[in-house]
A and B are shown apart, each in its own frame.
Chain A
């Protein structure tokens, strides 16, 4: 089981964080970075962020919207939303099972 998004190689965790960030609506790169840092205390570097964005766009999990003053927002596609839901359910089962095991000791 991968904690990040399967099939994204070393970008699997950044990719999952981006999808999760876009779950609340469209965002441009810097807004994603800020959202991820605020919510998860993870400071994605610019190269890592755009490496993951490139792959997510290629896989059709996110799509670019028209640029607004050089900044281009992205949003989840229906495929991306389904991939995010699947992975979050996997992580939920993992966390739930882990907590039950911990409580039983």
Chain B
């Protein structure tokens, strides 16, 4: 289970890694410890992101540049290159654009320190952009079926995001029922 330590940010591991590993060596680990460690790693990453945005130390400029270049390349492929190859590749084009914004958009925004708020803006821009050139014939009823992949992709991602709290709730109830502590013995009423 110690390999789960790799889920923590590097800075956190540099600071707490040795003592955390020593603790895991001493403790007889159970399945719920694994869930707790994964949860802790996720929290450490979010906490580090929140800290890096508020701290004066900016992320390395090369990392920021790479995120934005990757996003730009995928958007360029989706908007320009793939559609020019033929209408049959429109589905691929739509998926490239949607995928790049869903996957790289928030990462690029975080890396640049802009914040999570950029993501909805990118989706809005994307929706407006795809409503124009390739899918403008929707009104005429001749739009390619690929145009439906954009809202469908967002729908699937939204459904997955909506499921996360449900999974967490079920896991929490399961853990609680397994670790329920026996009620304390009855004592005399206070006078």
The finding on whether chains A and B are genuine partners in a shared complex, rather than unrelated, reads: yes
Q: Inter-chain contact count A-B, CB under 8 Å? A: 74
A60 CB–B CB distance under 8 Å:
no
B38 CB–A CB distance under 8 Å:
yes
Contacting chain B: which of A17-25, A26-34, A79-87?
A26-34
B21 near A43 (CB under 8 angstroms)? Answer: no
A47 near B36 (CB under 8 angstroms)? Answer: yes
A47 near B22 (CB under 8 angstroms)? Answer: no
A46 near B37 (CB under 8 angstroms)? Answer: yes
Contacts of B21 in A (CB 8 A): 70
Contacting chain A: which of B25-33, B103-111, B123-131, B136-144?
B25-33
Interface class of chain A by DSSP? helix
Name the distance in Å between B190's Cβ and chain A's nearest Cβ: 5
A46 near B20 (CB under 8 angstroms)? Answer: yes
Interface class of chain B by DSSP? helix
Chain A 63-75, CB within 8 Å of chain B: the 1/0 string? 0000101111000
B16 near A50 (CB under 8 angstroms)? Answer: yes
B26 near A30 (CB under 8 angstroms)? Answer: yes
Question: Knowing A46-B40, A48-B36, A51-B44 touch, does A29 contact B190 (C-beta < 8 A)?
Answer: no
A46 and B19 alpha carbons, distance in the complex (Å) = 11
A28 near B37 (CB under 8 angstroms)? Answer: no
Contacts of B24 in A (CB 8 A): 46
B44 near A99 (CB under 8 angstroms)? Answer: no
Q: What residues of chain B have their CB less than 8 Å away from a CB belonging to chain A?
A: 12, 16, 18-24, 26-27, 32-33, 35-41, 43-44, 47, 179, 181, 189-191
User: What 18 new A-B contacts, CB under 8 Å, besides A46-B37, A51-B43?
Assistant: A29-B23, A30-B27, A43-B179, A46-B23, A46-B27, A50-B40, A51-B44, A55-B47, A67-B18, A69-B22, A70-B18, A71-B19, A71-B22, A71-B23, A72-B18, A99-B190, A102-B190, A103-B191
